[in-house]
Structure 1
Amino acid sequence: MATEAKRVKVDDGSERLQDFLQWCDRVGLVLSKKVCLSTEGTVADYGMLAKEDIEEGEILFTIPRSALLHQETTKVSGLLKKGDSTEKKSSLESSSGWVPLLLALLYESTSPESHWRTYLSLWPGFKALDHPMFWSKEERDKLLKGTGIPEAVATDLSNIQREYTDIVLPFIMRHPELWNPNTHTLELYTQLVAFVMAYSFQEPQEEDDDEDDEEKRAPNPPMMVPMADMLNHVSKHNANLEFNPDSLKMVSVRPLRKGEEVFNTYGQMANWQLLHMYGFTEPYPENSNDTADIPVACLYQAAAQDIQSEPERQLFDERFKVLSQMMEENAAFVFSNHGCLTDSELHSALKLLCMSQEEFSEFRDNEGWEDDDEDDDDKISQAFSNEGLPDLKSSWKRLIHEAARLTLRSYGDAELESDRKLMEDGADLKGRSSRRWRALQVRFGQKVILHRLLEITAS
């Protein structure tokens, strides 16, 4: 089964593609004769195909670092890097860390003389991007209820508006020779955020040998990588991008047959993450990285159902306060098709919520629990796998079961079998541009995982 499109086919972009390939020659990007870019025979608007059989380990293309678009290679790099007499580089700092690149893209995407104009013209006006942030709130709330995406999008839009208003707009107002608020609007800025979400790359952090350094380094900023961003994603990919000091190389990780599409990977991404960040999904059940979240709030509700007296309520609130301090805000327990991926966190939560009053008093006195053989990482991982879950303590299984049931209620009235029928019979929903179809792929995959968890923890 073909994977869902990363980008919607909007028109024949062959002319833009030819211009781009000529630009690649000028900037020193080397493309293997065994592959070609195409708008036909791919799962999306653009893609890469094998023209000949390709062996594992072959270099498909090489990109010199000078051909990468980021804040150091843009025409406005000096201003972004050094600032001017009235401001410092720190004035562009934000929680996302994307502002310098986005300012560069605001300039380069609207400058007729931009060195990157041919490359950026592959996405005219960035109008084809169809992330859920561009859906109406009503669409998101109806189609994606329970998936976690509406909440993530609401946070994104709030952060984007705040970032534009507080950081970007004041900066561009101070530099009218380069930016114009009537051109470089919040709408364009939001489209470029989606463009960076869907197409940018981040260079992996180098290994830090200093284990005593407690301060974590900030992740490397994103950058645009021409040619690499033309490849589409599947979880069972056949190529991988390698970062070298002077260049980046796309290398085959398994043999490809003539005519086969070359697929990169964006990482181990569940369907809800793919839709949220990239605007597409993999058809069920092809995404081996699919997951479903059980919010901590659902575990709280499950545990609170057994409270019968005020002293029990007080004791429970104390335990949950400790648990809340141990976990991040709006945290969730993540389950895959094979078990719990956040097994250590779930183990600690269940251990804390199910301990006796005497055990909790000892826990508080010791400011935590002492190490135990049962807390071994390998044992915990096995215990919370699908194979190990049936053997958990009955009190732990009951909490997981009830939390999963409560999570399923958050999706609304549609039952799993109703969604299954839509999956099987919904030919009218299918299509690369169908928001309902992509939403169904996310919703159904998550429900299947949660229903399997209900079955495993039923006794």
Structure 2
Amino acid sequence: MRRPYSGPEAATATATATASCRRRLRAFKRWMRSQGIECSDTLGLRVEEVEGNGIRVIALSDLQEGDAVVRIPKKCCLTIKTSGARSLIESAGLDGTLGLCVALMFEKSLGHRSPWFPYLHLLPAAQSIPLLWTLDQLNSLLLGTELHKIVKEDKALIYEDWQECILPLLDSAPLTIYEELNPDFFSVEEYFAAKSLVASRSFEIDDYHGFGMVPLADLFNHKTGAEDLHLTSIFLPLVHVSDAEDNLKRDEYEMTDDVEENHGLDEYNNSLDAEQLTQKSQLRQGSCGNKWECSSTSEDEPTVLEMIMVKDVKCGAEVFNTYGTLGNAALLHRYGFTEADNPYDIVNMDLELVLEWSSSLYSSRHSRRRLALWRRLDYSGCVSQNSEYFEISGNGEPQVELLILLYIISLPDEPFDQLDLTVSSTEENLNEWLSIILEKGGYIQRETAAEMSKDLLLTRSVCDALLSLANIRESFFGSNSLEDDMEALNKCCCIKERELYYSLILRISERRILEKLRIYAAESAQLSATGQSKRASTMRKKMKTRR
């Protein structure tokens, strides 16, 4: 990876950002210990020298599968239940990620008075996901991708949420909470920023807490299909008194070892000193020293989140979590980055696009009747945000429901009418329906239906349809060719031009899949022609034998 900056001024800015992040990281580590968050000595938190504010988790010694390396009390997670705005959020009937966004904005508005200040101070102000991009960026960088339309719809819906749910809070808040509310931290810009952090960093904790911000767990970077550790819930007793006092002593020792930047950390450290003295007194009396513990957990739920190694990791290697087996569109949409050669990449083909193609070749009545029969056979595509679509896998293979729809659309009128009548007058299961469809195409006998594969759906007409759909979908990317995008990516820096870099990876991955779909359709058409020729030859031989 090339270095993003050059020149003395840029180098100074990078060094300043790196030093600032290190100071905030040290404050965060002290805060973790004060809250009972345990991080194994086998893990190290390292600031990225290049980015200046990125953090990686490194194995400081060999890690073994089954090792428990992180323990996080649920009372330390920022959730609706633990936030100081809980009563306000619940009285307004807000829950899920919307309620968590309000909790996050409220705690950020408190500054150093928030119990989560060192954690929030370590986080970026917002995550660079497409939701925060300008409309010009969306139209230029995501043109042709499946995210282009989705993100614009998201922006409109989230703005409506702010108008309908967030603004009324400022007027309806009880006086005791209203004094804490700073309208500047509840603006539409702050809501979008909170939404980006919740979308990219929150975890589903349990049924009681729902989604929440989990300190430390969200610092592990993602790697698709390469999860090193897993987050889970366990029951764990409270920390022993002597252990807690040892933690407090370590905090006091490190408090004198650093001078923090003037962004509220000094004020927080002073309040932490006072709180630690109170904790010492409470610990000696055998009482709980954390003011959120009694109100932030359910008796039926485990009290601690634990991160356990799921495979061995060598000393010096980065330790990765995973957000799931996600394609690049999903990664960019929610987390703001993409991965080259992502094995889980897909391309979506909208049902609307299929119907537009059908209507360009056949009458509208023809398309409506074929779609209606497909529906009556209980077939459907994938559905998301009121949009129905079909997935094209990374190797260019289309979803079978799309093949069935294209097969029905391309059937001549007479066999289609017979099939339509049969479906209306009998009751069969899906496999039997599919056998009827294929039988009408003249390719198989009914008794061999159980052995059929979707290759039988790939007639010449269906393959031609796939080629047409791939070409139409490719045209959405504009005048730039795939080679143009690849050349632009080679010249792009992922740090200085983050949005362009990751959007180019998405465009390239989607266009490569469409290219594979065209190859898949062309090869299938050849196999279909060869198969028809062999079947015809077999039939002629059988007829000669009978004679």
When the two structures are superposed, what TM-score results if normalisation uses the length of structure 1?
0.81
Shift of 1:316: 1.8
2:337 corresponds to which residue?
280
2:17 corresponds to which residue?
11
Whether 2:303 is the aligned partner of 1:246: answer: yes
Equivalent of 1:138, from 136, 139, 148? 136
2:347 corresponds to which residue?
292
Shift of 1:338: 3.6
2:157 corresponds to which residue?
159
In structure 2, distance between residues paired with 1:427 and 1:22: 42
What secondary structure does 2:122 align onto? coil
Q: How large is the RMSD of aligned CA atoms in angstroms? A: 3.1
Aligned partners of 1:172 and 1:178 also within 8 Å: no
Shift of 1:156: 1.4
| Number of aligned positions between the proteins | 412
Equivalent of 2:481, from 415, 421, 425? 415
In structure 1, distance between residues paired with 2:348 and 2:332: 15
1:181 maps to amino acid: P
1:150 corresponds to which residue?
148
Relative distance call for 1:323 and 1:147 in structure 2 (3 A) is: farther
What secondary structure does 1:232 align onto? coil
- The runs of 4+ residues in structure 1 deviating greater than 6 Å are 41-44
Aligned partners of 1:281 and 1:438 also within 8 Å: yes
Shift of 1:419: 2.3
Shift of 1:47: 1.6
1:209 corresponds to which residue?
none
The correspondence of residues 418-457 of structure 1 with structure 2, limited to 5 A, is 418-423=484-489, 426-431=490-495, 433-457=497-521
Shift of 1:432: 6.1
Whether 2:61 is the aligned partner of 1:52: answer: yes
**Which protein is bigger by CA-based radius of gyration?**
2
Relative distance call for 1:324 and 1:411 in structure 2 (3 A) is: farther
Shift of 1:251: 1.9
Relative distance call for 1:445 and 1:116 in structure 2 (3 A) is: same
1:120 maps to amino acid: L
Shift of 1:441: 0.3
2:43 corresponds to which residue?
35
2:182 corresponds to which residue?
180
Relative distance call for 1:14 and 1:169 in structure 2 (3 A) is: same
Relative distance call for 1:340 and 1:432 in structure 2 (3 A) is: farther
Whether 2:409 is the aligned partner of 1:353: answer: yes
Relative distance call for 1:299 and 1:19 in structure 2 (3 A) is: same
Higher deviation after alignment, 141-150 or 38-47? 38-47
1:61 corresponds to which residue?
70
In structure 1, distance between residues paired with 2:128 and 2:392: 27
Task: Point out where structure 1 has 5 or more consecutive residues left out of the alignment.
Answer: 3-8, 84-88, 206-218
1:233 corresponds to which residue?
222
% same residue:
25
What secondary structure does 2:308 align onto? strand
In structure 2, distance between residues paired with 1:178 and 1:321: 57
Aligned partners of 1:301 and 1:403 also within 8 Å: no
When the two structures are superposed, what TM-score results if normalisation uses the length of structure 2?
0.69
Whether 2:370 is the aligned partner of 1:306: answer: no
Relative distance call for 1:457 and 1:299 in structure 2 (3 A) is: same
Aligned partners of 1:290 and 1:336 also within 8 Å: yes
In structure 1, distance between residues paired with 2:121 and 2:398: 41
What secondary structure does 2:66 align onto? coil
1:104 corresponds to which residue?
103
Aligned partners of 2:230 and 2:309 also within 8 Å: yes
Shift of 1:37: 0.9
Q: Which has the higher helix share?
A: 2
2:349 maps to amino acid: I
Relative distance call for 1:433 and 1:255 in structure 2 (3 A) is: farther
Equivalent of 1:171, from 169, 172, 179? 169
Shift of 1:195: 0.6
1:278 maps to amino acid: Y
In structure 1, distance between residues paired with 2:423 and 2:327: 37
Whether 2:352 is the aligned partner of 1:362: answer: no
In structure 1, distance between residues paired with 2:315 and 2:373: 58
Higher deviation after alignment, 449-458 or 294-303? 294-303
Aligned partners of 1:294 and 1:333 also within 8 Å: yes
Aligned partners of 2:107 and 2:116 also within 8 Å: yes
Whether 2:322 is the aligned partner of 1:265: answer: yes
Relative distance call for 1:257 and 1:134 in structure 2 (3 A) is: same
1:317 maps to amino acid: R
2:199 corresponds to which residue?
197
Relative distance call for 1:183 and 1:276 in structure 2 (3 A) is: same
Whether 2:369 is the aligned partner of 1:318: answer: yes
Task: Point out where structure 2 has 5 or more consecutive residues left out of the alignment.
Answer: 3-13, 235-301, 436-448, 526-547
2:80 corresponds to which residue?
71
In structure 1, distance between residues paired with 2:434 and 2:27: 59
In structure 1, distance between residues paired with 2:403 and 2:426: 18
Relative distance call for 1:340 and 1:62 in structure 2 (3 A) is: farther
What secondary structure does 2:183 align onto? coil
Q: 1:215-265, CA deviations, whole angstroms, 9 ceiling, x for partnerless residues?
A: xxxx98421111110011110232222233222222222211111111111
In structure 1, distance between residues paired with 2:502 and 2:142: 9
